Structure 1
């Protein structure tokens, strides 16, 4: 495998680096050192060439409606409890509006599945634990602890309106 091919494969293993390359905010030598796939100068050169081929990361403003729903709880499908009207279902868990101690943040509008990565990244760096998350074109939803709800809704609004 060529240095260029190894470098690209290594970048694919680290999505944050791919995003940074698209945003043109990479110290190529430091990134090459981080990847550790060969001669640092050769890998740095491969990263520069790869970055030139990528679509630039553009910041766009868009309208998204973000709402917060407090009093959410997780219902285990095996428990026999009714989970109709759930806000989010993942595996055998459904999150419903039924007086629980969780908060759901739901975004509707011009959102796409990759936006979920941005939302989860913002929550992670703010040290807000996402208990559950899901997305599809037009919708993104995350469930957090109740106390984190107000901060989480602000982060989700910002993440989706200024990706």
Structure 2
């Protein structure tokens, strides 16, 4: 592979850097050192700049969809689940977890934004999913208010 191809592949392994390139907020020299691509740092910097020029501009999420909080989730019958992942089915009125749900046009990018914001807010996530234009993240009961604020913030852009 070429140095440019190696650089693009290395960036794609780090979504945060991919987004930063799209947003135009990258110190290219620091990014080149971080990526540790074989080649002269100046050549990797040049490859990063060219790659960034070809990327679509970063778009913040649109208007914030309604965000709701529902406490009391726990394991139960998959037919009644608010969220089911593998063998885990979380249903209302069955436990001590809290679901944060958002409607609108939620997609993988919105969920990624939400999960990143929850991580930086140090809110542990028990489960998460999106589909049909909605997303849900499940956290511990005590983390519910912090998670609600973080999700609202992430989706407001």
Q: Which residue of 2 aligns with 1:21?
A: 21
Shift of residue 160 of structure 1?
A: 1.1
| Distance (Å, rounded) in 2 between the aligned partners of 1:99 and 1:60 | 33
Instruction: Give the unaligned 5+ runs of structure 1.
Output: 76-81
Q: Which residue of 2 aligns with 1:78?
A: none
Task: Note the alpha carbon deviations across 1:126-145, whole angstroms, 9 max, x for none.
Answer: 11110000012411100000
8 A contact 1:65–1:109 mirrored in 2: yes
8 A contact 1:63–1:110 mirrored in 2: no
Q: Which residue of 2 aligns with 1:131?
A: 126
Question: Which is further off, 14-23 or 92-101?
Answer: 92-101
**Over aligned residues, Cα RMSD in angstroms?**
1.2
Question: Which is further off, 37-46 or 53-62?
Answer: 53-62
Shift of residue 112 of structure 1?
A: 1.6
Give structure 1 regions of 4+ aligned residues with deviation exceeding 6 angstroms: none
Q: Which residue of 1 aligns with 2:74?
A: 73
- Give the direction of change, closer, same or farther, for the CA distance of 1:137–1:55 in structure 2 (3 Å limit): farther
TM-score after normalising by structure 2: 0.94
Task: Note the alpha carbon deviations across 1:119-160, whole angstroms, 9 max, x for none.
Answer: 000011111110000012411100000000011011111111
Q: Which residue of 2 aligns with 1:79?
A: none
Q: Which residue of 2 aligns with 1:102?
A: 97
Task: Note the alpha carbon deviations across 1:85-134, whole angstroms, 9 max, x for none.
Answer: 21100000011112411100011112222211110000111111100000
| Distance (Å, rounded) in 2 between the aligned partners of 1:60 and 1:72 | 28
The count of aligned residue pairs is 156
Q: Which residue of 1 aligns with 2:8?
A: 8
| Distance (Å, rounded) in 1 between the aligned partners of 2:61 and 2:27 | 24
